[in-house]
Amino acid sequence: MQVRLVVPGIIYFILLLSFSGSQAQEALQWQPMAPGVWKAVSGSPDKVTPLGVAGNIPNSTALQKLGDISFPQSLGQSYAEQFEHKTFLRFPLQREEQLYGLGLNFKTVQQRGTIRELQVDHYGNGDNGRTHAPVPFYVSDKGYGILVNAARHIKVYAGIAVRKDSENPPEEMNRNTQRNWNPQPYSDNVEVIVPAEGAEIYLFAGNNTLEVVQRYNLFAGGGGVLPPKWGLGFTHRTPTLFSDREVMNEVEEFEKRGYPLSFIGLEPGWQTYSYPNNYVWDKDRFPQPDQFLQKLLDKNIRVNLWINPYISSKSPFYKEMLPYTGTHTVWAGPVPDLTLPPVQKLFRDLFIQQHISKGVSGYKIDETDGYDVWLWPNVAKFPSGIGADQMRQIYGLTIQKLTAAWFKERNQRTYGLSRASHAGASSLPYVIYNDYYNHRDFITALCNSSFIGVLWTPEARSSKTSEEWLRRMQSVCFSPMAMLNAWADGTKPWTFPDVANEVKEVMQLRMQLLPYLYNSFSQYAFEGKPPVRAMNLEPGFSFEATEQKGDLNSTENPYEMAVKKDIRDQYMLGDYLLVAPMFAGDTKRTVVLPRGDWYDFYTGEWVGNGSVLEITPGLSKIPLFVKEGGMIPMIPALLHTPKKGASLPLTIRYYGKTEHTSTLYDDDGESFDYEKGEFGIATLKVSKNKKGLLQGTVILPKNKPFSYNKFSWEFMTK
């Protein structure tokens, strides 16, 4: 009898020991990596990581320039443990803290209170972590960000989990009697499961959310991408089976009608075989690719080729490639193990010979994301030994990295499209797109892209009405890639005659804004500042609990009320422009202005300061607002991006009433010479003359590339 009693007692004791909650968790030991950046390692992390694949060297000059900042003290309370071949992580959360990021989400910007299982996949109309860029990085409005550098299906409970031993436990309530019983009790942490024996974690600090993102981009991404100038013009993707003649007709039609065009995208039919692909020009549709490409290059119109990585038995390198492919096929095409040097060489040689040396300027890399039913299953095996789930997480990043390098070795910049990405991607010359087509959600994705070091385009494809068409074309012109993807529908910018002029106007405005856009991208490259930014990255756009006077309600403090909401339908483009897109069916909208004076872009009129606007903007224009002191440098509305060395007049629009100084970046727009200092920065200065009137001065850079000569100022605010 005694034995029977004692043995279960010991077992319970042992069970209790192994279940001792947070005691098994060890505090993370943070090591400084760069000013404002720390790293902690728990257990034995995977060898394959997103940052390893992205392979960037941190931009230490820019990180130094951002300056040092002290360790965010609360993060000292971060813990980790290994359990059943997984790593559990825990980070603290304060009461009013907000979180952003956690992948390319389409529905919400604020992420506190969400659960995400971060996996590379085609977005399926629900924010659950399955998305094109499931970057395991979150930014806190308390001035720090956490990155889990693992290529795994990381599960994040962002302010959801409540621990028994919490120092800030939620109050126990009685649902029977307390009407304010909370179905989602307060949680004071972010808990993470990494399905691996260890994890590498990075912590980025900042005086504000933007600085956190800057440090993340500069450290993990090595900076941001500076696209070639042609990449920032307008791009049109032609129907999939178009021939060279049909493409040329389309280009001529754009010219004849006066619609700007900077690059053309060819969809799968440029090849003889697609799904799977042979990557060789179809002899009937493109009998003379060299001549076709040259004709377009002469006009400074570039060509982008669609590809996916699944290989046809008719491709020239099929036999050589086969030993280096995985166990499963996609659309009956073997899946190359892109991490292997022989695969990289076979792709490089064929692509340079067939495309790049002939004048192709970029790629659209399709279908490296999902859906599951199309791609390889997780039981697949690859010759490198990398697991199928990890391969899926890094595949998009790997092919972006490879293709970008083929252009860089020729000192030529590229700018293309990718449907899959991950952490550390900010300097890669790719913009994410997808097949989902909800205009509002596309704008939310635009906001969310800014936290995680990726670019996104809300591409326009087709529309049910002319109103929808115009609204979509307006949004796309205020995004990192202004694209009409007509691969399936054959839509043209002028497809809806009743809005054809308004569509042309917004495309022209995009071209006029090239110097402004290019300058904003230079800030991405040199300072890590994303060109498109969610409002939560904008200084002066915050809610401080201490400012609250009375109860939080829309009569006493409408601004605070608005900022507390999830603002996901407006964003900043560069330092000065606030973009508030309109959606089909809407005639009015709310715009929440950060603190500081704001002006209407079109009229220069003052519109508010830290206030909530109700606007009824009409159909013809996209609502745009400019911050006090905003300088918007513009060129004439050209049909194609100006060629290297072109000299252009510049009009600088000035908004506001105060003196202000700004800078304008420029370089040759095509090569990587800027990395060696071959760029010019002009100083734009607005000051008051003796009569108190504003006047503008431009101080040009000396002996440096700079494309603008004649300058005129337009003082927009009367």
Token pair, residue 262, equals 């900077």
Smallest distance, Å, CB 457 to ligand GAL?
A: 11
Judged by beta carbon, residue 134 or residue 630, the one nearer ligand GAL is 134
Whether residue 78 contacts residue 90, with contact meaning beta carbons closer than 8 Å, is answered with yes
Distances (CA, A) of 293 to 83, 254, 290: 57, 17, 5
Q: Site for ligand GAL (CB under 6 A): how many residues?
A: 9
Identity of the amino acid at 113: G
Place of tokens 């621990």: 163
Binding map of ligand GAL across residues 675-704, x = CB under 6 A, - = no contact? ------------------------------
349 Cβ partners below 8 Å, 6+ apart? Answer: none
Cite the beta strand spans of 177-248 per DSSP E: 189-194, 198-205, 234-237
Smallest distance, Å, CB 306 to ligand GAL?
A: 5
Sign of the alpha-carbon torsion through 229, 235, 241, 243: negative
Smallest distance, Å, CB 267 to ligand GAL?
A: 5
Q: Does 485 bind ligand GAL (CB under 6 A)?
A: yes
Binding map of ligand GAL across residues 146-185, x = CB under 6 A, - = no contact? ----------------------------------------
Spatial distance between the Cα atoms of 239 and 281, rounded to a whole number of angstroms? 16
Smallest distance, Å, CB 240 to ligand GAL?
A: 6
Judged by beta carbon, residue 132 or residue 229, the one nearer ligand GAL is 132
Q: Which of residues 539-568 bind ligand GAL (CB under 6 A)?
A: none
The alpha carbon torsion through 606, 611, 614, 617 (nearest 10 deg) reads 40
Q: Give me the sheet containing 302-307, strands edge to edge.
A: 455-456, 430-432, 416-418, 362-365, 302-307, 263-266, 234-237, 482-485
The residue among 512, 516, 531 whose CA lies nearest residue 630 is 516
The residue among 620, 619, 588, 584 whose CA lies nearest residue 468 is 584
Alpha helices (H) along 265-382? 289-298, 318-321, 341-354
Judged by beta carbon, residue 229 or residue 237, the one nearer ligand GAL is 237
Cα separation of the two ends of the chain:
97
Q: Which of residues 201-260 bind ligand GAL (CB under 6 A)?
A: 240
**Bridge partners of 100?**
110, 139
Q: Of 121, 141, 191, 267, which one interacts with ligand GAL (CB under 6 A)?
A: 267
Judged by beta carbon, residue 355 or residue 529, the one nearer ligand GAL is 355
Q: Does 268 bind ligand GAL (CB under 6 A)?
A: yes
Smallest distance, Å, CB 643 to ligand GAL?
A: 29
Judged by beta carbon, residue 267 or residue 670, the one nearer ligand GAL is 267
Binding map of ligand GAL across residues 359-398, x = CB under 6 A, - = no contact? -------xx-------------------------------
Whether residue 528 contacts residue 204, with contact meaning beta carbons closer than 8 Å, is answered with no
Over the range 77-98, which residues count as b (16 or more CB within 10 Å of their CB) and which as e?
Answer: ebbbbbeeebbbbbbbbeeebb
Smallest distance, Å, CB 508 to ligand GAL?
A: 25
Judged by beta carbon, residue 181 or residue 371, the one nearer ligand GAL is 371
For 16, phi then psi, to 5°, come to: -60, -40
Judged by beta carbon, residue 285 or residue 653, the one nearer ligand GAL is 285
Smallest distance, Å, CB 268 to ligand GAL?
A: 5
Q: Does 666 bind ligand GAL (CB under 6 A)?
A: no
Q: Does 103 bind ligand GAL (CB under 6 A)?
A: no
Smallest distance, Å, CB 436 to ligand GAL?
A: 10
Q: Of 197, 246, 435, 586, which one interacts with ligand GAL (CB under 6 A)?
A: 435
10 Cβ partners below 8 Å, 6+ apart? Answer: none
For 122, phi then psi, to 5°, come to: -70, 135
DSSP for residue 172: P
Smallest distance, Å, CB 631 to ligand GAL?
A: 36
Judged by beta carbon, residue 267 or residue 337, the one nearer ligand GAL is 267
Smallest distance, Å, CB 275 to ligand GAL?
A: 7
Smallest distance, Å, CB 305 to ligand GAL?
A: 11
Smallest distance, Å, CB 336 to ligand GAL?
A: 18
Q: Does 487 bind ligand GAL (CB under 6 A)?
A: yes
102 Cβ partners below 8 Å, 6+ apart? Answer: 111, 114, 116, 118, 129, 135, 136, 137, 138, 156, 158, 452
Binding map of ligand GAL across residues 299-318, x = CB under 6 A, - = no contact? -------x------------
Q: Which of residues 81-100 bind ligand GAL (CB under 6 A)?
A: none
- Pairing outcome for strands 114-120 and 154-158: antiparallel
Judged by beta carbon, residue 46 or residue 369, the one nearer ligand GAL is 369
Q: Which of residues 619-658 bind ligand GAL (CB under 6 A)?
A: none
Smallest distance, Å, CB 681 to ligand GAL?
A: 37
Judged by beta carbon, residue 253 or residue 435, the one nearer ligand GAL is 435
Distances (CA, A) of 707 to 6, 462, 518, 520, 669: 87, 36, 12, 16, 10
Size of the chain, expressed as the number of residues it contains: 718
> What stretch of H or E contains 634?
strand 630-634
Q: Does 282 bind ligand GAL (CB under 6 A)?
A: no
Judged by beta carbon, residue 46 or residue 367, the one nearer ligand GAL is 367
Judged by beta carbon, residue 205 or residue 484, the one nearer ligand GAL is 484
Smallest distance, Å, CB 462 to ligand GAL?
A: 12
Which residues of the shown chain bind ligand GAL in the complex (CB under 6 A)?
240, 267-268, 306, 366-367, 435, 485, 487
